[in-house]
Amino acid sequence: MVIIFIVLDSKNILVVEDDLDIRELISFNLANEGHQVFEANDGEVGIDKARNNNPDLILLDLMLPGIQGLDVCRIIKSDQETKEIPIIMVTALGQEEDIVKGLETGADDYITKPFGFNELMARIKALLRRSDPKTVSDDLIFEDLKLDRTERRVFRDNNEIHLGPTEFRLLEFFLLNPKRVFSRDQILESVWPNNINVESRTIDVHIRRLRQSINLSGKKELVRTVRSAGYSLS
C-alpha cells in the first residue's frame, strides 16, 4: 500500500489512446478528479494537441495508428515548446525491452495494461509532484515507512530511524518514485546531480547502509535489487 499526501490543483492532461472505451474511461475518471482532459485518438492529433494546449501531463499509448507512440514521444521531447511536459507511457507490452525503449525515448514513467485507476492516479500524482514540487506535502509514506520532509525524520512501524544525509536523500528519492526500477546512473543523476566523481560502487555502499537502517528485524525488505537493472522500493 502506498499513501502519499498531496494537494493537487486542477491540471490539464492529454490522453493519447486509440481505444475509444479505454480513452473515455480514463478521461471520465480524470475529470471526476477535477482535471481538464484533452483527447487524441492517434499520434498526429496527439502531437498537435500537445503543441496547442500545453498540457501539464500526457498519457501516451505505445501502440497507435499512424505515428507510433515511441515516435510521438520522441517528437514531443525534441520540441523546445513541449519537451518539459511529463509523459506516462501506457502500454499493453510488458516486456522489459519495450519499457526501456520508451524510457530511453524520453517517457518519464510507464504503466502496463490492464491497470487499476488507483495505480494510474498514483503515478500521475507522483509525476506531477516531481515536475511541480509545490504540490508535495511534508510526509511521504510507503507501507509502514514514513519520511517527514520538514523535520527530516524517518520512522518505520512508528520506530524512529536515524539516517545520514545521503541515505536520507536516497530514501526520499525512492519514496517519491515507489515501485519503479532505477539504474545506478539514474540514481546518481537524481541524488548526486552535481557530483561527477561518484562511482557506481559508492551508490551500492549507500544503498546497503540504507537497507541496514530501515530493515528492522522481522520486517519486509523494502529496497530490492533488480538483476541487471538497478534498485526499486518494493
Q: Which amino acid, residue 23? A: R
Q: Which residue has the higher pLDDT, 1 or 19?
A: 19
pLDDT at 8: 46
Average pLDDT over residues 54-63: 93
Which CATH number applies to 2-131: 3.40.50.300, 3.30.1490.100, 3.40.50.2300, 3.30.70.141?
Answer: 3.40.50.2300
Q: Over 90: is that where the pLDDT of 16 sits?
A: yes
The maximal CA–CA distance of the chain, rounded, in angstroms, is 54
Distance CA 139, CA 200 (A): 29
Q: Vertex 201, ends 198 and 203: CA angle to 5°? A: 65
Highest mean pLDDT among 57-61, 93-97, 219-223: 57-61
Q: Domain 143-233, what fold? A: Arc Repressor Mutant, subunit A (1.10.10)
Closest CA relative to residue 13, chosen from 81, 85, 94, 84: 85
The three cell numbers of residue 144 are 509502514
Q: Express each pLDDT in 68-120 by its tens digit.
A: 999 999 999 999 899 889 999 988 766 677 778 888 888 888 888 888 887 88
> How do residues 163-187 score in pLDDT, each as one tens digit?
888 898 899 989 988 888 888 888 8
Is the pTM above the cut of 0.85?
A: no
Query: Residue 16 belongs to what H/E stretch?
Result: strand 12-16
Q: What is the mean pLDDT of the chain?
A: 84
Most confident of 45-59, 144-158, 193-207: 45-59
In the chain, domain spans: 2-131, 143-233
Percent of the chain with pLDDT over 70: 89
Q: Are 57 and 88 in contact (CB under 8 A)?
A: yes
